[in-house]
Amino acid sequence: MKLLKLCQVPFMALLLALPVHANTQAPAFQPTKPVRIIAPSSPGGILDLTSRLLGKSLSERLKQPVVVENLPGAGGVIGIQAMLRADPDGHTLVMGSLGPNAANYALQDKLPYAYDDLAPVVHVLSMPDVLVVNPKLPVRTIAELQAYAAKKPNGLSMAVSTSGSSGHLAGDLLKQRAGIPAVDVVYRGASPALTDLVAGQVDFMVDNLVTALPLIRAGKLRAIAVTTKERSPELPDTPTVMESGYKDFDVSVWLGLFVSAKTPPALVKALNAEVNKVLADPAVRQKLAEQGGKATGGSIQEFDGFVRAEKARWAQVIKAGNIKPE
């Protein structure tokens, strides 16, 4: 018995001296000033709306203001550059998307940043794009849109919210696959593009569901097809592009947060943990679902792998289709 007690003392002392890394959570992010989320788009688009929804909940968690700054232009490049110029202290993030964080590497010859200049934080959202037309156009299917365009001497006009966006690439891919003659008309965000579409200044557009859905429900736009392989619960009667006869056509809108690669890894991990908690909130998930999106979340490694796969995929599509930035 005495021997057992003697052995227990150094053993307990050893346990107390051991590091406790095994089951500890990511260190909490404790901002010392307002946090800035840069949305590389004009107000009213998916990047803006999602950034503001996320920022509101994040502000409540962090006990600091979270300011959303809209910096549209150059296919998202201006917003990315602004984030990279900021101090890499976790207080400035950018809401990334398919264009500036995947397609631009193949789409733009002189991109002023490289993939490794950014550190992925978390996958925030995914949703379909939807092909919409001005209701005055006498078309209700992709085949009818193609036939209508073929009768026009100069073809049709396709609104593009941002050069290199998922809507831009999905629209150009659809024009190639369906043989729809149309010129791209590029805007500085979804809001002005949709305004012109509703006014009849342009003929059709492929846009993310969150910004197009209210106009579809109001009868100001007509939905023709969604770009994902499955129908959207928000538009159950609208077929997919694949159902319309175009095999393997599957394009999703996605958003995710990035910071500078110079940001300390512990801070990136802490940010990932905080945003994941926001995305797990049923109220946030419900709000995103009402807008046609799905909260994603997950680890830094999962998001990094996803973005790298998107980068490789769109490089092939852009090269095969000889797609150029507008």
pLDDT at 27: 52
Residue 122 and residue 136 in one domain: no
Q: Quickly count: other Cβ atoms within 10 Å of residue 231's Cβ.
A: 16
State how far the Cα of 285 lies from the Cα of 126, in Å rounded to an integer. Answer: 12
State how far the Cα of 150 lies from the Cα of 147, in Å rounded to an integer. Answer: 5
Q: How many domains does the chain fold into?
A: 2
Residue 122 and residue 261 in one domain: yes
Whether 141 is covered by a domain: the verdict is yes
Residue 159 and residue 95 in one domain: no
Whether 29 is covered by a domain: the verdict is no
Whether 13 is covered by a domain: the verdict is no
Let me know if 132 is exposed, middle or buried by CB neighbors in 10 A (0-12, 13-18, 19+).
Answer: buried
Q: Which H/E stretch holds residue 256? A: strand 252-260
pLDDT at 5: 44
Residue 45 and residue 102 in one domain: yes
Domain housing 220 = 128-226
State how far the Cα of 68 lies from the Cα of 315, in Å rounded to an integer. Answer: 30
Q: Are 58 and 227 in contact (CB under 8 A)?
A: no
State how far the Cα of 244 lies from the Cα of 303, in Å rounded to an integer. Answer: 31
State how far the Cα of 5 lies from the Cα of 9, in Å rounded to an integer. Answer: 7
Whether 266 is covered by a domain: the verdict is yes
pLDDT at 122: 98
pLDDT at 171: 93
Residue 55 and residue 85 in one domain: yes
Whether 53 is covered by a domain: the verdict is yes
- The per-residue pLDDT string of the chain (326 residues; one tens digit each, 9 = 90 and over) reads 444 444 444 433 333 333 433 334 445 788 889 999 999 988 877 889 899 999 999 999 999 999 999 998 888 899 999 999 999 999 999 999 998 999 999 988 889 999 999 999 999 999 899 999 999 999 999 999 999 999 998 999 999 987 788 898 999 999 989 999 999 998 877 889 999 999 999 999 999 888 899 999 999 999 999 999 999 988 999 999 999 999 989 999 999 999 999 999 999 999 999 999 999 999 999 998 887 788 999 999 999 999 999 999 889 888 877 777 76
Residue 85 and residue 137 in one domain: no
Residue 62 and residue 199 in one domain: no
Give the CA-trace dihedral at 307, 302, 285, 190, to 10 degrees: -10
pTM over 0.85: no
CATH number of the domain where residue 211 is located:
3.40.190.10
Residue 209 and residue 181 in one domain: yes
Q: Is the dihedral of CA 80, 83, 89, 91 positive or negative?
A: negative
Whether 46 is covered by a domain: the verdict is yes
CATH number of the domain where residue 261 is located:
3.40.190.150
Residue 219 and residue 271 in one domain: no
State how far the Cα of 243 lies from the Cα of 255, in Å rounded to an integer. Answer: 26
pLDDT at 326: 63
Residue 42 and residue 116 in one domain: yes
Q: Quickly count: other Cβ atoms within 10 Å of residue 304's Cβ.
A: 16
**Rg for the chain, CA atoms, rounded:** 23
pLDDT at 109: 84
